[in-house]
Amino acid sequence: MNTFRSARHNRFLVPRNAPGYPVRVKIVSVVGTRPQLIKAAALQPALRARHDEVFVDTGQHWDESMAGAFVTELGLARPDYSLGVGGGSHAEQTAAMLTGLEPILLG
């Protein structure tokens, strides 16, 4: 059985029967606000060097004045997916994010 476990001496999740470390994994990074974009800019180069990253923008603040310019200025890759969930109540935005993320995570 090829299950995953956490290795205390290694920060990566590895198959129990894997001969070597580290293993490339698919990581989905979900951002929606400028502070999250700043954090993503620090992590994205390392993630993409070691793993297969899918970059998702929720669209919570997606316009040139709120977040669009940050993507370019911070050197981030353009999002692989943009969910466009801006506007509405917190509950409506959360529901739209979960609905939009489901096919990405399951696909």
Give residue 18's pLDDT. Answer: 56
Q: What is the pLDDT of residues 13-25, one digit of tens each?
A: 555 555 665 678 8
State how far the Cα of 83 lies from the Cα of 43, in Å rounded to an integer.
21
Q: What is the pLDDT of residues 62-87, one digit of tens each?
A: 666 666 677 888 999 989 999 988 88
Q: Are 12 and 25 in contact (CB under 8 A)?
A: yes
Q: What is the pLDDT of residues 31-73, one digit of tens each?
A: 988 889 999 999 999 999 989 999 999 988 766 666 667 788 8
Give residue 3's pLDDT. Answer: 45
**Considering the entire predicted model, what is its pTM?**
0.74
Give residue 57's pLDDT. Answer: 92
State how far the Cα of 13 lies from the Cα of 23, in Å rounded to an integer.
7
The partner residues of 55 in beta bridges, in order of sequence, read 29
